[in-house]
């Protein structure tokens, strides 16, 4: 990203940059939030976890939406399990798959957001064709400060 503003909050980072559409004279501020350093890089089949702010068509209110990407070859009906500090499991559904990856979008709201803000570590588990699970663990240290800075940057 040209002229990107990168802010690190312990194990999370917020990256913002101005993007100028070709047909528009006004720049648009685009920001992302993600674990740092990247704990995935295809470890366990998980490619990335990135958060963005989107506007829902029904409410027109901004919503923090995370998108988890996995490589292909996992059992889609089983979904993805997300656990915070070995407590309650949140089951996330696959949304779509293309040639490069499968996506699992989820809103960062309610009990899930509270668990991320109070938690120390999260674990993502995906089911393999061999009826086993592969796990990727990542830190939540700094998430509360990062999500606040992220949402403030996108308003």
Query: Is-cis flag, bond preceding 12, omega within 30?
Result: no
Strand (E) or helix (H) holding 118: helix 110-118
| Inter-CA distances, 83 with 53, 91, 138, Å | 23, 9, 11
pLDDT digits (tens, 9 = 90+) for 94-138: 998 888 888 999 999 999 999 999 999 999 998 877 778 888 899
Instruction: List the domains of the chain with CATH numbers.
Output: 5-153 (2.60.40.1880)
Question: What residues pair up with 12 in beta bridges, in sequence order?
Answer: 9, 35
Question: Residue 40: is it exposed, middle or buried by C-beta count within 10 angstroms (0-12/13-18/19+)?
Answer: buried
Do the beta carbons of residue 124 and residue 46 sit within 8 Å? yes
| pLDDT computed for residue 53 by the predictor | 83
| pLDDT computed for residue 1 by the predictor | 44
Which of 101, 83, 80, 67 has its CA nearest to residue 137?
83
Which two structure tokens, joined as six digits, stand for 64? 């923090």
Q: Could you list the mean pLDDT of each consecutive 10-residue stretch along the chain, which spans 155 residues?
A: 82 86 66 85 74 76 86 80 92 88 91 94 87 88 95 83
Which two structure tokens, joined as six digits, stand for 150? 């992220």
Which of 117, 121, 114 has its CA nearest to residue 137?
121
């Amino acid at each position: 990203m040209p002229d990107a503003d990168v802010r690190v909050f312990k194990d999370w980072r917020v990256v913002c940059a101005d993007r100028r559409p070709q047909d528009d004279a006004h720049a648009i501020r685009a920001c992302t939030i993600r674990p740092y350093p990247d704990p995935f890089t295809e470890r366990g089949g998980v490619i990335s976890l990135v958060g963005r702010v989107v506007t829902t068509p029904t409410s027109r209110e901004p919503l923090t939406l995370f998108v988890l990407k996995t490589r292909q070859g996992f059992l889609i009906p089983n979904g993805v399990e997300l656990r915070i500090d070995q407590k309650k499991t949140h089951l996330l559904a696959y949304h779509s798959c293309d040639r490069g990856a499968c996506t699992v979008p989820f809103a960062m709201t309610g009990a899930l957001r509270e668990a991320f803000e109070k938690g120390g570590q999260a674990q993502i588990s995906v089911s393999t064709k061999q009826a086993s699970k592969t796990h990727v663990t990542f830190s939540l240290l700094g998430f509360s400060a990062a999500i606040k800075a992220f949402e403030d940057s996108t308003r």
